[in-house]
Amino acid sequence: MGKLSDALLHLDKQRVLTIVAEDLQRGRDPLEMIEEAREGLELVGAEFEKGNLFLMELMRAAQIFKSAAEFINPKIRERYEKTGAKGKVLIGTVAGDVHDLGKGIVSSLLECAGYEVIDLGVDVAVDLFLEKIREHRPQVVGMSGLLTTSIPVMKGTAEAISKSGLREEVKLIVGGGIVGEIDPLELGVDYSAKSASEGVRIIEGWIKRK
Amino acid sequence: MDQEEMKTREKISRYERLEAAWNLEKADRVPVAPILCYIIPYLGRITIREMFFEPEKLIQATVACLDIIGDNIDPNITTLDHLSLLGKSGWDQATLDWRIWDDFPPRGNIPSFFEKPVLEDYDDVIEKGFSTILFNRKLKQIFSRKWDDFLFYEFEFPKEYAQAWSKFVEEYEIPLLMGGRACHPLDLLQYYRGINLLIEDIFERPQKVHEMSEFLLEYEIKRAMEQAVLMGAGRVPGAEVIFFINGGPPGMSPKIFEEFFWPYAKKAIDTFVNCGFKVWCHWDNDLTPHLQKMRTIGDGLPRGKIVLDFEKTEMKKAKEILGDRVCLYGNVPSSLLVYGTVEEVEAYSKKLIQECAEGGGYILGTECEVPWNAKRENVRAMIKAAEKYGKY
Q: Cβ of B113 and A96 within 8 Å? A: no
Residue B1 pLDDT > 50 = no
Q: Residue B194: closest CA among chain A residues belongs to which residue? A: A101
- Between A and B, how many residue pairs show a Cβ–Cβ distance under 8 A? 90
Q: Residue A147: closest CA among chain B residues belongs to which residue? A: B109
- What is the helix, strand, coil percentage profile of chain A, to 5? 60, 10, 30
What angle do the packed helices B55-63 and B157-172 form, to 10 degrees? 20
Residue A148 has what pLDDT?
Answer: 79
- Phi and psi (nearest 5°) for B212? -65, -40
* Torsion B21-B24-B25-B28 (CA) sign: positive
CA B49 – CA A184 distance, rounded (Å):
36
Share of chain B above pLDDT 90, in %: 68
Alpha carbon of B205: minimum distance to chain A alpha carbons (Å):
13
* Torsion B184-B190-B191-B192 (CA) sign: positive
Amino acid occupying residue B363: I
**CATH code of residue B121:** 3.20.20.210
Please report which confidence band the pLDDT of residue B353 belongs to, taking 50, 70 and 90 as the band edges.
very high
Alpha carbon of A113: minimum distance to chain B alpha carbons (Å):
18
Residues of B in Cβ contact (< 8 Å) with A146:
112
Q: Cβ of B112 and A97 within 8 Å? A: yes
Residue A183 touches partner B, C-beta closer than 8 Å: no
Q: Cβ of A178 and B334 within 8 Å? A: yes
Alpha carbon of A209: minimum distance to chain B alpha carbons (Å):
31
Residue A159 touches partner B, C-beta closer than 8 Å: no
pLDDT tens digits for B182-220?
999 999 998 888 888 999 999 999 999 999 999 999 989
Amino acid occupying residue B75: P
Collect all residues from B whose CB is shorter than 8 A from any CB in A: 97, 106-110, 112-116, 194-196, 199-200, 202-204, 249-254, 256, 289, 333-335, 338-339, 371, 373
Burial (Cβ within 10 Å: 0-12, 13-18, ≥19) of residue B171: exposed
Question: In 3-state terms, what secondary structure has residue A91?
Answer: strand
Q: Which residue has the higher pLDDT, A148 or B92?
A: A148
Please report which confidence band the pLDDT of residue B77 belongs to, taking 50, 70 and 90 as the band edges.
confident
- pTM as predicted: 0.88
Which of A99-113, A191-205, B290-304, B366-380 shows the lowest mean pLDDT across its residues? A99-113
Which of B18-27, B54-63, B138-147, B283-292 shows the lowest mean pLDDT across its residues? B138-147
Q: Residue B256: closest CA among chain A residues belongs to which residue? A: A56
Q: Which residue has the higher pLDDT, B316 or B250?
A: B316
Alpha carbon of B333: minimum distance to chain A alpha carbons (Å):
9
Q: What is the ipTM of this complex?
A: 0.90
Q: Which residue has the higher pLDDT, B294 or A104?
A: B294
- Mean pLDDT rounded to a whole number for chain B: 89
Q: Which residue has the higher pLDDT, B319 or A31?
A: B319
Q: Cβ of A96 and B252 within 8 Å? A: no
Residue B89 has what pLDDT?
Answer: 60
> What Rg do the C-alpha atoms of chain B give, in angstroms?
20
Overall average pLDDT of the B119-144 stretch: 75
Residue B78 has what pLDDT?
Answer: 80
Q: Cβ of B203 and A11 within 8 Å? A: yes
CA–CA distance from B151 to each of B87, B141, B155, B349, B361 (Å)? 12, 17, 6, 45, 42
Neighbours of B318 (CB within 10 A): 24
Residue B101 has what pLDDT?
Answer: 60
Q: Cβ of A178 and B109 within 8 Å? A: no
Residues of B in Cβ contact (< 8 Å) with A60:
199, 203
CA A152 – CA A8 distance, rounded (Å):
40
Total structural domains within chain B: 1
Q: Which residue has the higher pLDDT, B145 or A35?
A: A35
Closest of B283, B377, B389, B373 to residue B334, by C-alpha: B373
Residue A168 touches partner B, C-beta closer than 8 Å: no
pLDDT tens digits for B61-71?
999 999 999 99
Residues of A in Cβ contact (< 8 Å) with B106:
96, 149
Closest of B387, B317, B328 to residue B359, by C-alpha: B328
List all residues 6 or more positions away from B288 whose beta carbon is below 8 Å from its beta carbon.
B313, B314, B317, B318
CA A202 – CA B184 distance, rounded (Å):
35
List all residues 6 or more positions away from A127 whose beta carbon is below 8 Å from its beta carbon.
none
- Is A97 known to be catalytic? yes
Neighbours of A197 (CB within 10 A): 19
Residue A47 touches partner B, C-beta closer than 8 Å: no
Domain of B214, in residue numbers: 3-389
Angle at the Cα of B165 from the Cα atoms of B159 and B169, rounded to 5 degrees: 140
> What Rg do the C-alpha atoms of chain A give, in angstroms?
18
- Is A99 known to be catalytic? yes
Q: Where are the alpha helices (DSSP H) in chain B?
A: 3-22, 39-43, 48-53, 55-63, 78-83, 91-95, 122-128, 131-134, 147-151, 157-172, 185-193, 195-204, 206-231, 254-256, 262-274, 315-322, 334-339, 342-356, 376-389
CA B176 – CA B33 distance, rounded (Å):
10
Closest of A82, A100, A98, A37 to residue A63, by C-alpha: A37
Q: Residue A94: closest CA among chain B residues belongs to which residue? A: B108
Residues of B in Cβ contact (< 8 Å) with A102:
none
Alpha carbon of B133: minimum distance to chain A alpha carbons (Å):
21
* Torsion B146-B151-B153-B156 (CA) sign: negative
Q: Cβ of A59 and B196 within 8 Å? A: yes
Residues of A in Cβ contact (< 8 Å) with B312:
none
Closest of B39, B197, B317, B153 to residue A63, by C-alpha: B197
Pick the catalytic residue from A5, A107, A144, A150: A150
Residue B197 DSSP symbol: H
Residue A42 has what pLDDT?
Answer: 87
What angle do the packed helices B195-204 and A55-80 form, to 10 degrees? 90
List all residues 6 or more positions away from B141 whose beta carbon is below 8 Å from its beta carbon.
none
How far, rounded to the nearest angstrom, does the alpha carbon of residue A69 sit from its chain's CA centroid?
15
Mutate to test the interface with A, among B112, B314, B332 (most CBs of A within 10 A): B112
Residue B281 has what pLDDT?
Answer: 98
pLDDT along chain A (210 residues), means of 10: 94 97 95 90 89 93 92 86 81 85 84 90 92 96 87 94 94 89 91 88 88
- Is A150 known to be catalytic? yes
Residue B118 has what pLDDT?
Answer: 79
Could you tell me the domains of chain A? 3-80 (1.10.1240.10), 88-209 (3.40.50.280)
Q: Residue A96: closest CA among chain B residues belongs to which residue? A: B108
What secondary structure, in 3-state letters, does A125-186 show?
A: CHHHHHHHHHHHCCCEEEEECCCCCHHHHHHHHHHHHHHCCCCCCCEEEEECHHHHHCCHHH
pLDDT tens digits for B13-58?
899 999 999 999 999 999 999 999 889 988 998 888 888 889 999 9
Q: Residue B374: closest CA among chain A residues belongs to which residue? A: A148
Residue B103 pLDDT > 90 = no
